[in-house]
Amino acid sequence: MKILANDGIAQSGINVLENSGFEVLTTTVAQEQLQNFINENDITGLLVRGATQVRKDIIDNCPSLRLIGRGGVGMDNIDVEYAKEKGLHVINTPEASSSSVAELVFAHLFGGVRYLHDANRNMPLEGDSNFKRLKKSYGSGIELRGKTLGIIGFGRIGQATAKIALGVGMKVIFHDPFIEKALVKIPFFDGQSVSFEFESQSKETLISTSDFITLHVPAQNNYVLGKEEFEMMKPGVGIINAARGGVLDEVALVDALENGNVIFAGLDVYESEPSPEIRILMHPNISLTPHIGAATGEAQNRIGMELAEQIITLLK
């Protein structure tokens, strides 16, 4: 059986699949050519990440296809329910990238409160000529310890983010319409662990009391954070979005940055991805990454292995 990993797969996953008798193709096929490629090569399983869309046309017109896999958590680029109705297996790897995304959230947080994103832009340009001025410009940082982190969406990634926040010494609150209570267990290197119990707060309470807010929700029809929500926030709040473009109103964000109500934002995803707006890209108070939340070697290895194990279980 042939598996097409159209957006790539870690070599560890390829090795496991090939050792079980699968042929793995890693050709990147353009969206408009994908249907023909699947049919011409008798593809049994299609693996994607965020770049490839698997809609009804692929599902209806590719009779050899028995499985669709998403390397990652969100499956908004796949017509999941329709595929299941047609008898296809649909799999993903919800746990594999949680730690990597959570660590990226804190990369943005640590960088934001100490202006690292802007300092790294300006030091190469002016570090030799305006060192003292830059030192003064970036000399009013704040600590994360003791501050309140509001987490909107408390699934695996939200809880992984909470673990880091607790380790840093932050207070954590969360809002999730689907999770009323959660027990977060933090394991340490020596085998000890500490557990914390949380109850979901109202969205309004979280927004109005948090010093920093991070989003961990799937794609939405409406903004989770829009103009109304930004007006409810404490002055000086920091915002992180490493979830999905479109869950945060970027126009409202820029307005809030301009009026000083938001002091900085960290964005890994964008409304107009893969072509983010120039106002976002050029803003000095926004820390930017190109949708790399799950892009660590460790996460990709876990994703590859989890996909391979599920494929073997389902198709062999």
- Please confirm, yes or no, whether 279 is among the known catalytic residues: no
Name the residue among 119, 92, 74 with its Cα closest to residue 242.
Answer: 74
- Please confirm, yes or no, whether 145 is among the known catalytic residues: no
Instruction: State what percent of residues in the chain have pLDDT above 70.
Output: 100
The answer on 305 and 281 residing in a single domain is no
Name the residue among 32, 58, 57 with its Cα closest to residue 45.
Answer: 58
The answer on 165 and 258 residing in a single domain is yes
The answer on 18 and 73 residing in a single domain is yes
The answer on 198 and 116 residing in a single domain is yes
Quick one: average pLDDT of 101-117?
97
- 13: domain CATH number? 3.40.50.720
The answer on 274 and 236 residing in a single domain is yes
CB-based contact 213:207 (threshold 8 Å) = yes
Quick one: average pLDDT of 122-143?
95
pLDDT digits (tens, 9 = 90+) for 287-304: 999 999 999 999 999 999
> Which is higher by pLDDT, 316 or 29?
29
Quick one: average pLDDT of 56-75?
94
DSSP codes, 134-159: HHHHT-----STTPEEEEE--SHHHH
The answer on 44 and 102 residing in a single domain is no
Check pLDDT > 90 for residue 66: yes
* pLDDT band at 5; cut points 50, 70, 90: very high
pLDDT of residue 73: 82
The answer on 148 and 161 residing in a single domain is yes
* pLDDT band at 125; cut points 50, 70, 90: very high
Please write down the long-range contacts of 194-200, taking CB distance under 8 Å and 24 or more positions apart.
196/162, 196/166, 196/172, 198/154, 198/162, 198/172, 198/173, 198/174, 200/154, 200/174, 200/175, 200/176
| CA atoms of 96 and 74, how far apart (whole Å) | 12
Residues 6+ apart with CB under 8 A from 2: 22, 23, 24, 25, 41, 42, 43, 44, 45
The answer on 311 and 176 residing in a single domain is no
The answer on 171 and 307 residing in a single domain is no
Out of 175, 291, 302, 306, pick the active-site residue.
291
pLDDT of residue 76: 86
- Please confirm, yes or no, whether 108 is among the known catalytic residues: no
CB-based contact 213:233 (threshold 8 Å) = yes
pTM recorded for the entire structure: 0.90
Out of 175, 244, 283, 302, pick the active-site residue.
244
pLDDT digits (tens, 9 = 90+) for 38-59: 999 999 999 998 889 999 999 9
| CA atoms of 102 and 288, how far apart (whole Å) | 15
DSSP H or E segment with residue 110: helix 98-113
Burial class (CB in 10 A: 0-12, 13-18, 19+), 82: middle
**Mean pLDDT for the chain overall:** 96
Quick one: average pLDDT of 174-179?
97
The answer on 214 and 280 residing in a single domain is yes
Out of 273, 277, 279, 309, pick the active-site residue.
273
| CA atoms of 241 and 266, how far apart (whole Å) | 6
Check pLDDT > 90 for residue 72: no
Asked whether the CA dihedral 251, 255, 258, 263 is positive or negative, the reply is negative
Instruction: State what percent of residues in the chain have pLDDT above 90.
Output: 95
Domain limits at 159?
A: 98-288
pLDDT of residue 260: 94
The answer on 269 and 143 residing in a single domain is yes
Check pLDDT > 90 for residue 75: no
pLDDT digits (tens, 9 = 90+) for 250-287: 999 999 999 999 999 999 999 999 999 999 999 999 99
What is the count of structural domains for the chain?
2
The answer on 224 and 85 residing in a single domain is no
| CA atoms of 64 and 78, how far apart (whole Å) | 17
